[in-house]
Structure 1
Amino acid sequence: MSVEIVLMYLPVGLIAGLLAGLLGVGGGLVIVPMLVFCFIKQDIGSEVIMHLALGTSLASIIFTSISSFMSHHRRGAVDWSIVKEIIPGILIGTFMGTLVASRLSTGFLKVFFCIFLYSVATQMILSKKPKASRELPHKPGMFGVGNIIGVASSLVGIGGGSLSVPFMLWCNVPAHRAIGTSAAIGFPIAIAGAFGYVVNNLHASGLPPYSIGYVYLPALVFIVSLSVLTAPLGAKLAHSLPVDKLKRIFALFLYAVATKMVWGLIS
């Protein structure tokens, strides 16, 4: 692997860690498109690029989420009762999502990812918060919500924060507590997702060397090496910076990323 490729992976980890701690989004919204760009530069087969990006993103979030949720936990911002209730649905939904994703084409997954990026960016730019008008559901409801978040997260390679944070806000969970709890929820999503992308695709064709299923180990190592260092910084900033304004700036970035991916699909 060339030095140029290595230097491309390091900023991915830097940015992913900051976003995981700051916004509770796990960093996958940035990791996936940046990995796609890196894989194209490496001339990895187009038929596996998106799957490899999704699997590697989820594997990296395992480490990023630990660093992030521990930082939030030290500030008392993780509601472990929510995490406990939603984990069963998360684990099953995420693993089942990887089964579906492994049977979808790269083109379909890219289109789905772009639509998801536009949706998340629009929600951020409008800063529309769901009306806090109810309490968290009981166990069956939390299981169902976990299923939905898990399936969606596995299809776009994220830690679920883009879905779990709005859900918790809707259920009257305070914003900083929702972000911290979302970081903790990202851990079981990443575990189940990475496991699914590995065991369901151990013998997939067209994979580059040093891959285990749809997880590319060199990218994983370089991303994790920085993301675990910057996630605590992001968590610290989340308690001192105007997160809503930062989200709007990040939304503009997501629009640009999604548009670039759409242009690549068209051209």
Structure 2
Amino acid sequence: MLDIEWILLYLVLGAFVGFVAGLLGLGGGGLLVPLLTYIFTYQGISVDNAVHLALGTSLACMIISSTASIRVHASRGAIEWQVVGGMAPGIIVGTFLVTQAATHVNSVYIAIFFALLMVIVTGQMFLNWQPRPSSKPATFRGLIAAGIGIGSVSALVAVGGGFLAVTYLGYKNVNVKSAIGTSAAIGFPIAITGTIGYMISGWSITLSNTYTVGFIDVPAFLTIAIGSFIAASYGTRCSHNLPDVFLKKILAVISLLLSIKMLISLVQF
């Protein structure tokens, strides 16, 4: 039987990630993946399976967080639904294919990619870099290609979809508020497809584990999702009273340090 201590830990982790997501408008993958990797390895799960289990569980948790974000942004008319529809097929294809391939990739390589992506995200936040807007509007073919790229990266590291989507949409002359709202909507097909993909790819590998469905840890997913859902609203309320730019930089640094620590830990095994 699963110890109550783990349930409480997942609940606290979910509350923390949910509060951060509501406060800063960021996904929690940068925090969840390295922290869940630590927890799963401590529970005795092999390093390779722990990383993939952390990825799958984090994407499953994104279903709840992205649903809540969509409701808020849609109520403000900040979602470009035509863009979402154009990118969705590419996102589904890219996300699913990568989840199937990821099980054959050494966890150390995934950790390296994760850490490098966090370096880029952190650098972008500190430098406030934005690409120069293009004079050409987004085409259907371009949206499909962008969706494949964003879905592939998000499935491999369970983070980065929002960063990449906002950057791409800014490049295509979508205003910042709409880019953020549209990015939140894009997170839903990533989360759904990624969850299904990791369930399928890990089905035979974790079949003997009582509490897992493929590479989804069910108790962790349910408890983190509950904690995240409850705490997100409080984070949203606080967001109006705190300097979010400064806090985003702090979070980016913490996520980077956690990902580097995860990489070092995996290399030592």
Indicate whether the TM-score tops 0.5: yes
- Residue 21 of structure 1 deviates from its aligned partner by 4.0
* 1:218 and 2:237 aligned: no
| Structure 1 pair 67–261 and aligned structure 2 pair: CA distance change class (3 A) | same
Please, what TM-score do these two structures have when normalized by structure 2?
0.90
Give distance in 1, aligned partners of 2:69 and 2:113: 27
Q: Partner of 2:258 in structure 1?
A: 257
Give the structure 1 partner of residue 147 of structure 2. 146
- C-alpha separation between the residues in 1 aligned to 2:248 and 2:190? 22
Q: Name 1:102's counterpart in structure 2.
A: 103
Residue 111 of structure 1 aligns with an amino acid whose one-letter code is I
Q: CA deviation at 1:69?
A: 1.3
The aligned counterpart of 2:121 is 120
The 3-state SS of whatever aligns with 1:104 is: coil
CA contact (8 A) 2:131 2:170 kept: yes
Q: Is the 8 A contact 1:56 1:214 kept in 2?
A: yes
In the alignment, what sits opposite 1:35? Answer: 36
The residue aligned with 1:71 is 72
CA displacement 1:123-145 (0-9 Å, x = unmatched): 21222122233454110100000
The residue type equivalent to 2:248 in the other structure is K
Q: Can you give the 5+ residue segments of structure 2 that lack an aligned partner in the other structure? A: none
1:64-112 Cα shifts (integer Å, max 9, x gaps): 1101111121222222221111111111111011111121122222222
DSSP 3-state at the match of 1:195:
helix
Q: Distance in 1 between matches of 2:23 and 2:175?
A: 15
Q: Is the 8 A contact 2:80 2:178 kept in 1?
A: yes
Q: State the distance in 2 between where 1:82 and 1:237 align.
A: 30
- Note closer, same or farther for the CA distance 1:57–1:136 as it changes in structure 2 (3 Å cut): farther
Counterparts of 2:231 and 2:77, CA distance in 1: 19
Name whichever of 104-113 and 27-36 sits farther off: 104-113
Per-residue deviation, 1:230? 3.1
Residue identity (%)? 39
Q: Is contact 2:153-2:160 (8 Å) kept?
A: no
Matched to 2:250, the amino acid is I
Count of aligned pairs between the two proteins: 267
Distance 1:161 1:218 in 2: 26
Distance between the aligned counterparts of 2:172 and 2:32, measured in 1? 29
Task: Report how far residue 246 of structure 1 moved.
Answer: 2.6
Answer yes or no: is the 8 Å Cα contact 1:56–1:219 preserved in 2: yes
Q: CA 1:235–1:133 in 2, change beyond 3 Å: closer, same or farther?
A: farther
Alpha-carbon RMSD: 2.1
Mean CA deviation greater in 151-160 or 1-10: 1-10
Q: Does 1:87 align with 2:100?
A: no
Partner of 1:14: 15
Letter in structure 2 aligned against 1:18: F
Match for residue 52 of structure 1?
A: 53
Question: CA, structure 1 residues 199+255, in 2 after alignment: closer, same or farther (shift >3 Å)?
Answer: closer
Contact 2:21-2:28 at 8 Å conserved across structures: yes
Gap runs ≥5 in structure 1: none
Counterpart of 2:106 in structure 1: which amino acid? S
**What residue identity is the alignment partner of 1:151?**
S
Q: Distance in 2 between matches of 1:75 and 1:103?
A: 42
Over 3 Å counting, the alpha-carbon distance change for 1:240 and 1:132 in structure 2 is farther
Residues 85 and 11 (structure 1), Cα distance of their counterparts in 2 relative to 1, 3 Å cut: same
149 and 62 in structure 1: CA distance in 2 versus 1, 3 angstrom threshold: same
Contact 1:78-1:178 at 8 Å conserved across structures? yes
Q: 1:240 to 1:168 in 2, by over 3 A?
A: farther
2:188 match: 187
Q: Give the corresponding residue for 1:62.
A: 63
CA–CA separation in structure 2 for the residues paired with 1:264 and 1:35: 13
Quote the Cα distance in structure 2 between the aligned partners of 1:52 and 1:209.
14
Question: Is this contact kept in 1: 2:207–2:213, CA < 8 A?
Answer: no
Q: Is the alpha carbon distance of 1:257 and 1:68 closer, same or farther for their aligned partners in structure 2, counting shifts above 3 Å?
A: same
For the 8 Å contact 2:73–2:79, the answer to whether it is kept is yes
Structure 2 equivalent of residue 246 of structure 1: 247
